[in-house]
Amino acid sequence: MSVVGFDLGNLQSVISVARNRGIDVICNEVSNRATPSLVSFGLKQRFLGEAAKTQEVSNFKNTVSNMKRLAGRTVGDAEIQEVEAKLTPVELVDVDGQVGVKVNYLGEQQTFSNIQLIAMYLGKLRDITAYEIQNAVSDCVITVPGWFTDSQRRAVLSASEIAGLNCLRLVNDLTAAALGYGITKLDLPEEKPRNVVFVDIGHSDYSVQVVSFVKGQLTVRSAAYDIHFGGRDFDQVIMEHLAFEFKEKYKIDVWSNKKAILRLRVAAEKCKRVLSANPQAAVNIESIMEDRDVSTIVNRSDFEEWAQHLFGRTADTLQKALAKAGMSAADIDAVELVGGTTRIPAIKTTVKQVLGKEISTTLNQDEAISRGAALQCAIISPVFKVRDFRVNDICSYPIKLSWDPTPEEDDTEIVVFDRNNSIPSTKILTFTRSEPFTLYASYVHPEEIPRGINPWIGQFTIKNVEPANSSGEPSDIKVKVRLNIHGILSVESAYTVEEKEHVEEITNKDGEKETKKTKKLVKKADLPVVSGTTALSKPLMDKYIEQESQMSSSDKLIAATEAAKNSLEEYGYEMRDKVEGPYAAYIDPGVKDQFLKDLNAVVDWIYDEGDDQPKSVYVEKLNALKKIGDPVVERYREAEERPSAERGLRNTIERLTQEAMSQDEKYSHIPPQDKQDIVDRAERARRWLDDQLAKQANVPKYDTPVLLSRDIAQEENAVIAFATPILNKPKPAPKPEADTQMTEDDEGNKEESQGEKENEMDID
């Protein structure tokens, strides 16, 4: 069983697996440890991850990025319209009530929802993992930002199901990083907690968590977020200044050309990375637009001045997290940074100044979250034994339940899960009702959740509610509300209870028996609950699963067809060159010219009508060529390997003959006849080899050889098998020698001993 952690990033994702008594970050098909978070659509197939990256500029209208930012949102969402639509070249549209994309796929306009897009990408991560571990991937843990709402979490969870993954937990990014930090620490205190601040600035957001560690567990104390502060915002700052400079210097307007914008964004991102380690960075963009090349130099001091408004926000989120935890900087013991954007020197400086601590380097900034997710998966999975470590995560946003007013009640809402409520968590609420009723779940502070997301979470109707008795008294209803391990709200069950009187006899202090009556609530009957949430309906979920299965099968067939086509093309070119080169003597002159014609014809055909053919056509043509070509290759290979095999057999014959005729002491115990048998067997092998080589010398190189290298190797093994048991025969154990010399004392002792034996015999 696989144990996998996916760090699902907005720019790129990292995969970790638990194996070999540790956590390994695995590489993708081009040996990168991070896979671009991109999905691209073509005329024949989809391109995912690295394959999509190569088309990011050339096929920009059909290449989707920033998928994580689309999760769980609608196309009318202010965030989508004002931010994501400007950063995504693909047209954003409504798909089944969700934000999705319109792309040209298989030669026609098609639409896909954000859930489908994430599912496609997760399927790619699944396939990368399966190839690496040589096993199917099922159980996994996927990371999401702590600021993700119920609808966003449901979207990722649905996407994982469509991709055929069994997500054991959606874990918050920094909680995963904290787990990776804590489980490796063997010096955690048992009483007074160690308080650590984790700072994560990734491609599109900024998160801070305050976490307390004691031996065997971590507890998240608080979290704060700035969801519009990340690497892409710094890229945008650089882009704006470069675009202005290029307009002044080269008289071109980059903003008027979408391809130019993409090229500029790639250059700005590279510039930002270089400036994190160097005082200045060169920017060179070939053919940015209108066949113009542009170049400039960016200084770190200029960059820091341009982005001053962003750097000023670094401290705000840190201070919010401390305030929510009820702590000051003096209470913090360590600071850990993760996320690529935290490499910017000005950000590091600000974190140091606010917290008054040197930054720790315990964690790998790019891989810590993925590793923590794999550890969480190993802890949950029954097949792995991991050191016990408890994770106490929290609810980021308070959640309330409300209901329609009744004559008997003044209150119509309750905060069921308050800020920093632990995850998972269950609450049981009591209602007094005579008829069915509905509970409405929503966020307490809509202004705190990401802008544009509906604060409504769901509604839950409790059915079949009736009066408790014939007199019409209302029933007591218990409702079980749960915030599950993914951070998703649900009403798990509802049931009626009735008050029953329980009578028991007790003995008082005077020894007298008394009757005591107590009242207890007893479960009476389960009530059906009808839930309405942002989760996909079953018909829509089934539709998405079927579509993904069909697209995945089509992609695999296209890939296999392309591989067959490439194999045919490679074979045509390679054999054409070698038949006129090293293989020339090993092909029958009577078929050589025709074979060359066939090879040339296949190469020409591939670039003409053979460019788009079924896989079976390529396989059939390749097999037809190999019927002629494979024997040629085999004859050439045999001619190359035969001399080496001959030398091996002759050396073995010589070595065994010398050992058999040797006068060495270690062979002195072997009978002469056995040694002669070895000499005879070696000589027989030599005569066989000479005879076969003589026959082979009379066979043309283009004819089937009569002596194969494997035959020579087989004969060598037979000679060794014959001689080895004889030469390795152990020496017989030496016979004990009689002691022929005795001292006078020895003779006396011997006589005395014999006398004793004679006396003993007399007694008998």
* Conformational region of residue 133, where left means phi above 0, alpha means psi within -120 to 50, and beta covers everything else: alpha
pLDDT band, very low/low/confident/very high, at 347 (cuts 50, 70, 90): very high
| C-alpha dihedral (150, 156, 162, 163), degrees to nearest 10 | -160
Q: How far apart are CA 461 and CA 364, in angstroms?
A: 47
- The answer on pLDDT for 667 being more than 90 is no
CA 586 to mean position of chain CA atoms: 49
pLDDT for residue 758: 41
Q: How far apart are CA 756 and CA 208, in angstroms?
A: 100
Q: Find the farthest-apart pair of alpha carbons in the chain and give their distance in angstroms, rounded.
A: 135
**Per-residue pLDDT averaged across 528-547, rounded?**
95
Nearest to 544 by CA among 47, 26, 120, 28: 120
Q: How far apart are CA 51 and CA 63, in angstroms?
A: 11
pTM more than 0.95: no
Residues listed for the chain = 764
Contact 517, 501 (CB under 8 A): yes
**Per-residue pLDDT averaged across 424-442, rounded?**
93
**Per-residue pLDDT averaged across 209-237, rounded?**
95
Nearest to 458 by CA among 436, 438, 445, 442: 442
Q: Take residue 568 and report the two structure tokens written for it.
A: 């045919």
Q: What percent of the chain has pLDDT over 90?
A: 80
**DSSP label at residue 729:** P
Nearest to 573 by CA among 536, 603, 541: 603
Helix 589-606 × helix 615-661 angle, to 10°: 140
Q: Which residue has the higher pLDDT, 676 or 511?
A: 676
Nearest to 394 by CA among 221, 636, 607: 221
| 3-state DSSP assignment of residue 32 | coil
Q: What is the pLDDT of residues 287-324, one digit of tens each?
A: 999 999 999 999 999 999 999 999 989 999 999 999 99
Where are the strands (E) in 395-547, listed by range? Answer: 399-403, 413-417, 422-423, 425-433, 437-443, 456-462, 475-483, 489-507, 513-527, 529-533
Q: How far apart are CA 99 and CA 92, in angstroms?
A: 7
Contact 479, 491 (CB under 8 A): yes
List Cα–Cα distances, 662 to 257, 558, 598, in angstroms.
87, 66, 60
| 3-state DSSP assignment of residue 401 | strand
**Per-residue pLDDT averaged across 464-484, rounded?**
89
Q: How far apart are CA 694 and CA 686, in angstroms?
A: 12
The residues that bridge with 530 in the sheet, in sequence order, are: 461
**DSSP label at residue 730:** P
